[in-house]
A and B are shown apart, each in its own frame.
Chain A
Amino acid sequence: DVVMTQSPLSLPVTLGQPASISCRSSQSLVHNNGNTYLNWFRQRPGQSPRRLIHMVSNRDSGVPDRFSGSGSGTDFTLNISRVEAEDVGLYYCMQGTHWPTFGQGTKLEIK
């Protein structure tokens, strides 16, 4: 299976400051069809995961534009331009190019 490795695992951020989460895969996530199926999810305490970004950089409906995704091949990043209090939670990357696998999660908290 493809191993997804996130860093950091803990991310304390000051309100209004940027944040960045890295996700690396053990194999290329480029599918035979040319697309890259890398998604980002956020899970708030006591809630189910919510998809934020699909196919590397496509923001889902209702997701603020301070969230952006980038990357290619095996190296991907989720950026938050200015962290707000509502952004607290666990962030997961997940690939669907191969048998689906998730990263171990990054806990974003406010300093």
Chain B
Amino acid sequence: KNEVEQSPQNLTAQEGEFITINCSYSVGISALHWLQQHPGGGIVSLFMLSSGKKKHGRLIATINIQEKHSSLHITASHPRDSAVYICAVTPRSSGSARQLTFGSGTQLTVLP
């Protein structure tokens, strides 16, 4: 079983829809990250969370440490949001090795 599980693997939505991508992890963590990988391959860090909620524009990321679960929400989705969204965690056990363990990603396609 992977330490980081994402769902769904693929998601197709109509423009304007509210989107939720989920991430569950099985280890204690220092932080959780949401990354966006564009169709051209570039990777952008969206959020880094250790508790609560963060918002940036139409993107909202939440984390529940007790339940070991995080969600990434996109409000009023747009075709330009089409990308792969990747959840990654820093296991607390990594100590000085600030490793990232990645989920397999969610391919989001927003249709006009």
B and A form one assembly: no
By a beta-carbon cutoff of 8 Å, the part of chain B in contact with chain A is none
By a beta-carbon cutoff of 8 Å, the part of chain A in contact with chain B is none
